[in-house]
């Protein structure tokens, strides 16, 4: 460890590991995406159209669901899924505080209550046993998150749901490629919701998708995502001739556009190749960092497939003189961008004030939230980039040993 521990940190005026900043979550965009976007613009069909339909079809095939509905975000998909499975004001939905805000925000949008159940310290996913302790007469649904690309224990959660006649919506924003016990994520629950936000594994700039096998849910989400207009109203100005639409209920403006789908079609075609590249980077990080005062979440159970979305390190703060935020700042000065996924959601002001959550309520999520740091993991990283990240993390942590 001594080799790089002696160099002066950039944050203290030393030479940074990189002069060209490595941003976290750099998107991997290739010529084929650029050409497809250009063709979309030239076609004049910028809104929801044939490219969205093609992307939905390819996505269904990839995840093995009967239906897939493209939307303008995962958040929109979570919102519509909650309505589609019948969540109503006063209901409770059990989810995990170790997640992005929108997972729980959508529950509050319906006047329902997000009931948090702590995560497991190893998997960082919801602990099914704790979830079962949170059940009441009002519990309507479970909303697990496949954290960092590792699947939540769907076997246990499905057993819980079956016993109590609950619905399940999966937040699979991190988990497009994942599988649980040989079953592809996207083909398991009532609804599974994916994100194509710029830092995710498949990107469309902004975008999301809901997959389901239920024709009624599929139909409803399709209509609800476009103002509640009668089916296929997006074709109303096409060469099939003008047609009247009917408003069947007041829906939302959540549709995906062909501009976005143009990116998605080619991104999805490379999804497995990109996973393979991230898998290589993952193994190199594991090798290069394993002797440092940090913990890397363990490999998934046999039969599960990890989507390798976030490479997370959990700092051993007892062995370091500096906090996670100071490590983050020091890495920034070395030219390395990182992410924090996440500070525990129940500690954010809205959740404290509205639901009375506070410190100590979910010790595992809080423990993770204080020491977690995500390293760059884009398939577009060069081997040199990866070595720079390892060098910078080693340099910063070795200089901060107690």
Please, which residue, 333 or 345, has the CB nearer to ligand PLP?
345
Stretch that binds ligand PLP, among 25-33, 42-50, 167-175, 247-255 (CB under 6 A): 167-175
Q: Report, in Å, the least distance between residue 172 CB and ligand PLP.
A: 8
Strand-pair partners of 192: 170, 211
Regarding 145 and contact with ligand PLP (CB under 6 A), the answer is yes
Please, which residue, 71 or 397, has the CB nearer to ligand PLP?
71
- Please list every residue from 203 through 262 that binds ligand PLP, using CB under 6 A: 208
Please, which residue, 62 or 197, has the CB nearer to ligand PLP?
197
Q: Report, in Å, the least distance between residue 144 CB and ligand PLP.
A: 10
Q: Which of 82, 117, 173, 289 binds ligand PLP (CB under 6 A)?
A: 173
Q: Report, in Å, the least distance between residue 145 CB and ligand PLP.
A: 5
Q: Which helix (H) or strand (E) holds 149?
A: none
Stretch that binds ligand PLP, among 35-43, 96-104, 358-366, 381-389 (CB under 6 A): 96-104
Give the Cβ contact number of residue 207 at 10 Å: 30
Q: Which of 52, 74, 152, 262 binds ligand PLP (CB under 6 A)?
A: 74
CB-side exposure of 171: number of CA atoms within 13 Å? Answer: 32
Please, which residue, 5 or 25, has the CB nearer to ligand PLP?
25
Task: Tell me which residue has tokens 């009917």.
Answer: 246
Regarding 99 and contact with ligand PLP (CB under 6 A), the answer is yes
Regarding 174 and contact with ligand PLP (CB under 6 A), the answer is yes
Stretch that binds ligand PLP, among 34-42, 168-176, 324-332, 392-400 (CB under 6 A): 168-176
Distance CA 370, CA 375 (A): 16
Q: Which of 197, 254, 282, 362 binds ligand PLP (CB under 6 A)?
A: 197
Do β-strands 113-116 and 92-95 pair in parallel, antiparallel, or remain unpaired? parallel
Helices (H), 243-293: 258-269, 271-289
Strand-pair partners of 114: 93
Regarding 170 and contact with ligand PLP (CB under 6 A), the answer is no
Pick the catalytic residue: 57, 88, 184, 200?
Answer: 200
**Distance (Å) of CA 395 to CA 9, 25, 50, 126, 373:** 7, 22, 51, 34, 16
Do 212 and 59 form a contact (C-beta atoms < 8 A)?
no
Q: Which of 40, 139, 195, 274 binds ligand PLP (CB under 6 A)?
A: 195
Please, which residue, 278 or 394, has the CB nearer to ligand PLP?
278
Please, which residue, 259 or 289, has the CB nearer to ligand PLP?
259
Q: Report, in Å, the least distance between residue 88 CB and ligand PLP.
A: 22
Distance CA 360, CA 365 (A): 10
Do 161 and 140 form a contact (C-beta atoms < 8 A)?
no
Regarding 73 and contact with ligand PLP (CB under 6 A), the answer is yes
* Helix/strand/coil for 134: coil
User: Cα torsion at 377, 379, 384, 386 (round to 10°)?
Assistant: 20
Distance CA 357, CA 115 (A): 10
CB-side exposure of 187: number of CA atoms within 13 Å? Answer: 16
Q: At what angle do helices 271-289 and 258-269 cross, to 10 degrees?
A: 60
**Does the annotation count 200 as an active-site position?**
yes
The verdict on whether omega for the bond into residue 14 sits within 30 degrees of 0, i.e. cis, is: no
Size of the site for ligand PLP (CB under 6 A): 14
Q: Report, in Å, the least distance between residue 167 CB and ligand PLP.
A: 18
Do 338 and 373 form a contact (C-beta atoms < 8 A)?
yes
Stretch that binds ligand PLP, among 129-137, 169-177, 254-262, 293-301 (CB under 6 A): 169-177
- By annotation, the residues acting in catalysis are 200
Q: Which residues bind ligand PLP (CB under 6 A)?
A: 73-75, 99-100, 102-103, 145, 171, 173-174, 195, 197, 208
């Amino acid at each position: 460890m001594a080799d790089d521990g002696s160099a002066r940190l950039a944050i203290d005026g030393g030479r940074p590991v990189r002069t060209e900043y490595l941003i976290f979550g750099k998107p991997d965009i290739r010529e084929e995406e650029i050409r497809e976007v250009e063709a979309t613009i030239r076609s004049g069909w910028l809104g929801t159209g044939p490219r969205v339909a093609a992307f939905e079809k390819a996505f269904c095939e990839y995840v093995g669901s009967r239906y897939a509905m493209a939307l303008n975000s995962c958040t929109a998909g979570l919102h519509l899924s909650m309505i589609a499975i019948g969540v109503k004001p006063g209901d409770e939905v059990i989810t995990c505080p170790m997640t992005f805000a929108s997972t729980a925000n959508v529950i509050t949008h319906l006047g329902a209550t997000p009931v948090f159940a702590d995560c497991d310290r190893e998997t960082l996913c919801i602990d099914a046993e704790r979830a079962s302790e949170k059940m009441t007469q009002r519990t309507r649904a479970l909303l697990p998150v496949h954290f960092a690309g590792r699947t939540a224990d769907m076997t246990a959660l499905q057993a819980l749901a079956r016993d109590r006649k609950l619905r399940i919506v999966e937040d699979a924003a991190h988990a497009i490629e994942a599988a649980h016990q040989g079953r592809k994520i996207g083909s398991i629950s009532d609804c599974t919701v994916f994100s194509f936000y710029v830092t995710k594994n498949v990107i469309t700039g902004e975008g999301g998708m809901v997959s389901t096998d239920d024709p009624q849910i599929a139909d409803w989400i399709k209509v609800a995502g476009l103002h509640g207009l009668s089916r296929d109203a997006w074709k109303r100005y096409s060469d099939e001739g003008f047609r009247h639409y009917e408003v069947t209920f007041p829906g939302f403006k959540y549709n995906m556009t062909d501009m976005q789908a143009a990116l998605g079609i080619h991104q999805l075609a490379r999804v497995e190749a990109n996973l393979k590249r991230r898998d290589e980077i993952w193994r190199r990080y594991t090798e290069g960092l394993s002797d440092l005062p940090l913990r890397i979440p363990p490999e998934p159970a046999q039969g599960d497939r990890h989507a390798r979305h976030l490479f997370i390190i959990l700092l051993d703060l007892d062995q370091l003189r500096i906090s996670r935020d100071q490590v983050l700042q020091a890495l920034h000065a070395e030219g390395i961008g990182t992410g924090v996924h996440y500070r525990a959601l129940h500690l954010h002001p809205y959740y404290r004030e509205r639901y009375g959550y506070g410190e100590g309520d979910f010790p595992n999520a809080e423990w993770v939230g204080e020491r977690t740091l995500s390293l760059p993991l884009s398939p577009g990283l060069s081997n040199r980039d990866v070595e720079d990240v390892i060098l910078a993390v080693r340099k910063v942590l070795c200089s901060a040993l107690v």
